[in-house]
Amino acid sequence: MIEVFGENGILSSLNGRFEPREEQTRMADFILEALCDGEGCFVEAGTGVGKTLAYLVPAISHCLENGKRLWVSTETRALQKQLLEKDIPVAREIIKRLVGREFRYELCMGSANYPCRRRFESLLERGEFHRVELHWLEELRGLFDRGGPLSRFDTRMPQSLWSRVSRESEACDMSTCAFASHCAFQLARRRWQQADVLILNHYLFFTNVNSGRTYLPAADVVVFDEAHSIEDVASEQLGFSVSFSDMMEIAERFHRRGRRKTILSRIGRESLRKKALGGHEALFAELQRFFESLRDLLPAGRLSHRLKEPLGIGAEMMTAYRGFYALLDDIYEQMDDDESRAEFEIARSRLFSAVQALSSAIACEDSDWVYWLERGETELLGEVTVKGQPIDIAEIMEREVLAQYESVVYVSATLAVNGDFSYIAGRLGSREHRSLLLRSPFDFKKQAVLLLNREEGGPDGDSFAGDAARIAAQIIEHLNGNCLMLFTSYRMLEIVRESLAGMIDHPVFAQGEYPASEVLERYLEAGNAVLMGTHSFWQGIDLPGDLLRGVIMMRLPFAVPDRPPVQARMERIEERGGNPFYSFQVPAAVLKFKQGFGRLIRGKTDRGVVAVLDSRILGKGYGRFFIKSLPECSIAYSVPEMKRLFQALPAAGGKSDET
Ligand code: SF4
């Protein structure tokens, strides 16, 4: 790999501004060696290592030379975009020189991102659209006629209309579809088959697992970038989530009052039609009653309620379901065209899966699963969702991931805790593992000040929010804005936001007010502003240079222990004789804390302050795991000391090249 990443290497010849980094070469060498041995590995690479090329080059060259296919999976769309627009084109140039041939790559997306010609034609034929929607449909026809690859991203059609013309896997049968030979999805799949490298996301990876590994063409080597999030994504994708709105959506697929030509109203035999309409009404009335009784279990103000014992409700709903479901074969017999049958199959299969999920939750069917009721944090009076997921995904990962591919490589800026990868490897079912930890090549001592709050009283004290807001205000004023405040709950965010009003002279934008991307846009437009966010902001924000001068963490990011999936994981560890606090809560919080810290320094000329206002970092024994997980930087214990150290940092220059 020195031939690529070393002094006067291929990368230098492609980019005159490229600066060789020892860490990058080491990472590429390490991965190549693991792949050549037919093994996988874990690599933590701090910001600035150039980790994307450091896994792309060895993985692609190894696969090309050995006739293997590679999948690269990311969590966020931002990284996927960066891969496609920036890193893959560079990797292609490198590989051309290194291996002497080009590689083919494709982006793979979930079904709903591709248009279905059959649904499109049927929608036009039925004429069930508004006149204002016609121009979008005409545009889509033009795109179909143009031929070639086609996806959601080729049109700005509103989502409500797109969902009526996008592919639905349950109804897609190539062998009977008249449009299969020029279908955008089938074309995409043929291209995937011919590609050497497939780019996907973790959600699609586990959708493929759920499909029995039939959605994507097989691979030999998988690289998971942003691998720190796999456990959460896998648990979510392998589990289920059903709300009353989901059930209503399914109900309306069968029949909706006021709409002509529904599946049920089109039944020719009158006696069956009446029976079906009656059964449909009875089922959805029972479902409504069922969800209302669930709501009583989750009073306003509570966000979740774990289901530990069979609930003893839902019998009427199940009876109504069985009554309606028993009619479905007869209804199918009455369908006289392929389009109606396809629509019907989707409705039937979605109804079946949703009711199975509800019934498994109310019966607490599987002791290896956790079931609970949940209400979104920003919708306290909103609807209740029934959720379920496997408690521990280690065995599933062993069976469905490690056993299926020759090598699985996990890469992230945050995988190790105190220099050790056992936590993440254990959670992901990897018993033996090679690992490499590479610190960021940035000089944090010259770039960042870490302010640790040692004021009395932890984050649960009555005065915490007010005190923290006061310290935050001083930091924000000193840095003249451009600060990110990270919270672990919306409640705390709201309290601090209120306290801050009047203390600072900078516009504040908070997650929840607008969609996350819009909050970020407003923050950037305003300049010298303050950005407040919870969960996804700890890892999803990339604001290089002067766009971010301060990161203020209100609390250490421990997962809420009474959140059912967290609680269930902790109980499982305890049952197996482990200590859930030290073997689960602390390491998980340390990884999130490192993600939060990593928001600040994105380039070698950035500088700024990270403040941790939760005094437990100094007052509690476990605090040392958090501090030791960070790169060495100047530490301040008070705002005046922070100001002094910050002023003493060498002045920031221009932007750095992160290739
Ligand atoms: S093959 Fe499937 S996605 Fe393609 S047009 Fe036919 S039904 Fe739609």
Q: What is the pLDDT of residues 324-338, one digit of tens each?
A: 999 999 988 888 777
Q: Which atom of ligand 1 is least distant from the CA of 177?
A: 6
Q: Tell me what pLDDT residue 277 has.
A: 92
Task: Look at residue 260 and tell me whether its pLDDT is greater than 80.
Answer: no
Question: How confident is residue 379, by pLDDT bands cut at 50, 70 and 90?
Answer: low
Q: Give the whole-angstrom CA distance, residue 389 versus residue 387.
A: 7
CA distance 317 to 251: 14
Per-residue pLDDT band for 493 (boundaries 50, 70, 90) equals: very high
Contact 332, 590 (CB under 8 A): no
Give the separation between CA 446 and CA 94, rounded to whole angstroms: 33
**Ligand 1 centroid, distance to 184 Cα (angstroms):** 8
In this structure, what token pair is assigned to residue 565?
């999936």
Extract the tokens encoding 310.
């069979």
* 181 Cα: distance to centroid of ligand 1 (angstroms): 9
Residue pLDDT, tens place only, 505-535:
999 999 888 877 788 899 999 999 999 998 8
What spacing in Å lies between the alpha carbon of 62 and ligand 1's midpoint?
35
pLDDT value for 278: 94
Q: What is the rounded distance in angstroms from the CA atom of residue 405 to the CA atom of residue 32?
A: 16
Q: Who's near 182: CB < 8 A, 6+ residues apart?
A: 117, 144, 147
Span from the CA of 204 to the centroid of ligand 1 (angstroms): 19
Determine the average pLDDT of the residues in 424-433. Answer: 90
pLDDT of 580 over the 80 cut: yes
* Residue 381, pLDDT score: 53
- pTM for the predicted model, two decimal places: 0.89
Query: If you measure from the C-alpha of residue 165 to the centroid of ligand 1, how many angstroms do you get, rounded to a whole number?
Result: 10
Helices first, then strands: H and E counts in the chain = 30, 18
Q: Whose CA is nearest to atom 2 of ligand 1?
A: 172
Instruction: Note every long-range contact of 94-98, with CB atoms under 8 Å and residues 24 or more positions apart, other chains counting.
Output: 94/4, 94/10, 94/11, 94/14, 94/53, 94/57, 95/57, 95/60, 95/61, 95/64, 97/10, 98/3, 98/4, 98/10, 98/57, 98/61
DSSP 140: H
Q: Whose CA is nearest to atom 3 of ligand 1?
A: 116
Task: Report how far ligand 1's centroid is from the alpha carbon of 156 (Å).
Answer: 21
Q: Which residue has the higher pLDDT, 211 or 126?
A: 211
In whole angstroms, give the CA distance from residue 259 to residue 492. 46
Q: Which of 361-370, 432-441, 507-516 has the lowest mean pLDDT?
A: 507-516
Q: How far apart are CA 543 and CA 166, in angstroms?
A: 35
Residue 652: pLDDT band (50, 70, 90) is low
User: In this structure, how many other beta carbons lie within 10 angstroms of the beta carbon of residue 394?
Assistant: 17
Ligand 1: residue whose CA is nearest its atom 1 = 180
Express as a percent the part of the chain with pLDDT over 90.
70
Task: Look up residue 11 and give its two tokens.
Answer: 């990368």
Q: Whose CA is nearest to atom 8 of ligand 1?
A: 116
Instruction: Give the confidence band of 289 by pLDDT, cuts at 50, 70, 90.
Output: very high
Q: Ligand 1 centroid to 262 CA: how many Å?
A: 21
pLDDT at 657: 39
Q: For residue 184, which atom of ligand 1 is closest to its CA?
A: 4
Query: Which of 179, 181, 346 for mutating ligand 1's site (highest number of atoms within 8 Å of CB)?
Result: 179
Segment 404-420, tens digit of pLDDT: 999 999 999 999 998 89
The confidence score (pLDDT) of residue 653 equals 43
- For residue 174, give the ligand 1 atom closest to its CA: 1
For the ranges 73-82, 196-205, 387-396, the lowest mean pLDDT is seen at: 73-82
The ligand 1 atom at the shortest distance from the C-alpha of residue 178 is 6
**Residue 389 confidence class, pLDDT cut points 50, 70, 90:** very high
Residue keyed to tokens 């049927």: 122
Give 55-104 as a DSSP string.
HHHHHHHHHHHTT--EEEEES-HHHHHHIIIIIHHHHHHHHHHHHSS---
The predicted pLDDT at position 654 comes to: 37
431 — pLDDT class (breaks 50, 70, 90) = confident
Give residue 380's pLDDT: 47
Task: State the pLDDT confidence band at 132, using cuts at 50, 70 and 90.
Answer: confident
CA–centroid distance, 71 to ligand 1, in Å, is: 25
End-to-end CA distance of the chain: 16
How many other C-beta atoms lie within 10 A of the C-beta of residue 516? 14
Burial category of 329 from C-beta neighbours within 10 Å (exposed 0-12, middle 13-18, buried 19 and up): exposed
Whole-number Å distance between alpha carbons of 377 and 366: 27
d(CA 203, CA 411): 17
Lowest mean pLDDT among 127-131, 388-392, 420-424: 127-131
Q: In the predicted model, is pLDDT for residue 269 greater than 60? A: yes
Sign of the CA dihedral with 524 first, then 526, 527, and 533 last = negative
Ligand 1 center–CA 406 separation, angstroms: 33
Ligand 1 centroid vs 277 CA: distance in angstroms? 29
Ligand 1 pocket: which of 152, 167, 337 to mutate (most atoms within 8 A of CB): 167
Mutate to test the pocket of ligand 1, among 124, 169, 186, 187 (most ligand atoms within 8 A of CB): 186
349 three-state secondary structure: helix
Q: How far apart are CA 383 and CA 375, in angstroms?
A: 6
* 383 C-alpha to ligand 1 centroid (Å): 34
> Hey, which residues does 201 pair with through a beta bridge?
74
Say how many Å lie between the CA of residue 178 and the centre of ligand 1.
8
- Beta carbons within 10 angstroms of residue 382's beta carbon: 14
Asked if 414 and 598 count as a contact pair (C-beta separation under 8 A), the reply is yes
Q: What is the pLDDT of residues 179-189, one digit of tens each?
A: 998 899 999 99
Distance 169 CA to ligand 1 centre (A): 9
SS3 category, 657? coil
- How many CB atoms are located within 10 Å of the residue 228 CB? 23
Tell me, in angstroms, the distance from the centre of ligand 1 to residue 594's CA. Answer: 45
Phi, psi of 324, rounded to the nearest 5 degrees:
-70, -45
**Average of pLDDT values for 613-634?**
93
How far is Cα 116 from Cα 109, in angstroms, rounded to an integer? 14
Q: What is the pLDDT of residue 656?
A: 39
Spacing, Cα 65 to ligand 1 middle (Å): 35
Find the residues whose C-beta lies inside 6 A of ligand 1: 116-118, 167, 172, 174, 177, 179-180, 183, 185-186
Mutate to test the pocket of ligand 1, among 117, 187, 338 (most ligand atoms within 8 A of CB): 117
| Helical pair 22-36 and 51-65, crossing angle rounded to 10 deg | 30
Round to whole Å and give the CA distance between 659 and 657.
6
What confidence score (pLDDT) does residue 286 get? 94
Residue where the block lists tokens 């995988």: 415
Quick one: tokens of 311? Answer: 């609930």
Beta strands in 183-322 (DSSP E): 197-201, 221-224, 240-243, 304-307
Minimum CA distance residue for ligand 1 atom 4:
183
| Ligand 1 geometric centre to CA of 186 (Å) | 7
Strand (E) or helix (H) holding 611: strand 608-612
**Element holding 648 (H helix, E strand):** helix 639-648
